[in-house]
């Protein structure tokens, strides 16, 4: 994820981050299904090797969204309790 994308994540609301997380997980699930279908049809694992970088990148994006989501949850909880340090 590029620096602009990270800045974009910082400005998103909790609901937008949850939607982004859901979209990423759906994208990964869809890609896994396609990969399984291709491997079983061809009988080889060449497409699995090609998709390694794709899955690694998507896992990283999911982790970044989860990080920003947890940070926003902490800030929201502090506001509810009456302030921060």
8-62 pLDDT tens trace: 888 999 999 999 999 999 999 999 888 888 777 766 555 556 678 889 999 999 9
Give 47: exposed, middle or buried? Use CB within 10 Å, 0-12, 13-18, 19+: middle
Please give the Cα distance from 21 to 25 (Å, whole number).
6
Residue that wins the pLDDT comparison between 2 and 71 = 71
- The torsion defined by the Cα of 7, 57, 19 and 72, in degrees rounded to 10, comes to -50
Instruction: Please count the other Cβ atoms lying within 10 Å of the Cβ belonging to residue 30.
Output: 10
Its pTM stands at 0.77
């Amino acid at each position: 994820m590029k620096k602009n994308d990270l800045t974009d994540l910082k400005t998103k609301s909790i609901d937008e981050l949850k939607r982004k997380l859901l979209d990423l997980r759906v994208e990964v699930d869809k890609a896994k299904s396609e990969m399984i279908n291709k491997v079983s049809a061809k009988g080889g694992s060449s497409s699995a090797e090609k998709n390694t970088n794709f899955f690694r990148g998507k896992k990283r994006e999911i982790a970044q969204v989860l990080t920003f989501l947890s940070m926003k949850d902490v800030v929201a909880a502090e506001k509810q309790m009456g302030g921060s340090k």
